[in-house]
């Protein structure tokens, strides 16, 4: 069935990323009413060739980037050119990202179709078998050398590029930095996986070479986040929180340089430190 509803762009005014609500603040023993910003969380159906694949809970921003990035990081398509069309469709229930891909890709997708809602914090919701968990990933040997000072610089710059999180306090970000620590692009979402998919989609659309910098995520580095980064051929992934055991295994198997517990004054290198330069990193484990 062809998706129905109103076709809109991702910049449409109807896509509000937050809403106003009333709350009561308790401070110094006194209660006072105030208006607060609440992050929007809406169902977003990812639809391929008129067949719904999964419904994700997401922030209604940059949905075209989300659809493209998810399609690449989940290996639904192998090359950006296989995304033949993307249309954002809004109705009273939520949004659809209606995408057209080659028939062969659509046919292969039916064999691993997700069929339940993907919750905000879940990167594997809807996967039906263990075989669908571990994607076939490329080796990402080589790539840039990143100075630790650039990582610190990107971490310091990122908060200014998180307007929605400043307003609501409930939003993750994924950002792309150049090799000197300047953030080129950032994407926000209530879901950490969604934010990374949006970043991957934006990088692809803008033709940013993943060998020209590194990614920063404001969350823990779970298995799915490492897998998405490798699928996008990102060589260096910097996470604010710690990695999981499976994320480390992905990094070691593929060549991903995994930096976590990243702060503006310290980082911990978990895998493939040879891509990093800077004081003391020669002694990294």
Active site residues: 122
CA distance 62 to 59: 9
Query: Which residue in this structure is represented by tokens 């999981």?
Result: 244
CA distance 134 to 94: 30
Query: Per this entry, what is the length of the chain?
Result: 285
Q: Find how far residue 262's CA is from the centre of its chain.
A: 18
SS3 content of the chain, % helix, strand, coil (to 5): 30, 30, 40
Query: What's the start-to-end Cα distance of the chain, in Å?
Result: 54
Cβ proximity of 235 and 226 under 8 Å: no
What is the DSSP-derived secondary structure letter of residue 71? H
Contact partners, residue 78, CB within 8 Å, separation at least 6: none
User: Residue 277's CB: how many other CB atoms inside 10 A?
Assistant: 14
CA distance 102 to 270: 39
β-bridge mates for residue 118, sequence order: 56
HEC secondary structure over 261-278: CCCCCCCEEEECHHHEEC
């Amino acid at each position: 069935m062809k998706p129905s509803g109103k076709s809109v762009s991702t910049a449409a005014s109807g896509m509000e990323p937050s809403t106003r609500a009333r709350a009561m603040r308790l401070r110094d023993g006194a209660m006072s009413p105030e208006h607060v910003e609440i992050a929007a969380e809406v169902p977003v159906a990812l639809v391929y060739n008129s067949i719904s694949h999964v419904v994700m809970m997401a922030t209604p921003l940059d949905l075209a980037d989300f659809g493209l990035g998810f399609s690449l990081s989940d290996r639904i398509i192998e090359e950006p050119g296989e995304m033949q069309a993307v249309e954002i469709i809004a109705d009273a229930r939520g949004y659809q990202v209606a995408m057209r891909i080659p028939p062969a890709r659509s046919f292969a997708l039916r064999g691993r179709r997700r069929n339940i809602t993907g919750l905000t914090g879940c990167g594997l919701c809807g996967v039906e078998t263990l075989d669908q968990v571990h994607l076939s990933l490329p080796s990402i040997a080589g790539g840039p050398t990143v100075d630790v000072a650039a990582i610190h610089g990107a971490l310091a710059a990122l908060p200014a590029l998180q307007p929605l999180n400043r307003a609501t306090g409930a939003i993750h970000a994924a950002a792309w930095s150049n090799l000197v620590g300047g953030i080129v692009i950032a994407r926000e979402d209530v879901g950490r996986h969604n934010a990374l998919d949006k970043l991957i989609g934006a990088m692809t659309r803008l033709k940013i070479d993943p060998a020209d910098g590194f990614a920063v995520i404001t969350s823990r580095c779970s298995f799915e986040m490492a897998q998405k980064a490798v699928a996008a051929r990102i060589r260096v992934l910097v996470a604010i929180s710690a990695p999981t055991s499976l994320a480390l295994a992905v990094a070691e198997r593929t060549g991903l340089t995994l930096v976590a517990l990243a702060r503006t004054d310290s980082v911990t290198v978990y895998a493939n430190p040879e891509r990093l330069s800077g004081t003391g990193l020669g002694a990294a484990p």
